[in-house]
Chains A and B, each alone.
Chain A
């Protein structure tokens, strides 16, 4: 099975 990645990964969240 070939999987195609359609979206970029989510980002982490940083508290500043």
Chain B
């Protein structure tokens, strides 16, 4: 697993995710990275990566909407000017 710190360099995070608990893809997977978004500017997130944690919070067992909300809130909060993602290239069953 790799820790990627995405600085909030744009007004959007700019990733699309699929998956979550009780789906075929139990942990969220990055399916799109939008050009010009913070994630794209960061340059370290890639399509296909699985998101294990956001700011140290595990996504295991979270349904899609819950995981998406957690990521959205991490990006929205003014408490910090970055979001930490723990990602892996492998679709591990955790």
> Which residues of A line the B interface, CB within 8 A?
7-16
Contacts and interface: CB of A to CB of B under 8 A. Distances in A.
A12 B65 CA distance: 9
Looking at chain B, what size class is its interface with the partner chain?
20 to 34
Contact of A11 (B13, B23, B32, B72): B23
Nearest to A9: B23
A7 to B, nearest CB: 6
For the residues of B in contact with A, the DSSP-based class is mixed
A14 B23 contact: no
B68 to A, nearest CB: 4
B31 interface: yes
A7 B90 CA distance: 20
Contacts of A9: 22-24
B79 to A, nearest CB: 18
28 contacts: A8-B22, A8-B23, A8-B24, A9-B23, A9-B24, A10-B18, A10-B25, A11-B23, A11-B24, A12-B18, A12-B64, A13-B16, A13-B17, A14-B16, A14-B17, A14-B64, A14-B65, A14-B68, A15-B16, A15-B32, A15-B34, A16-B13, A16-B15, A16-B16, A16-B17, A16-B68, A16-B72, A16-B75
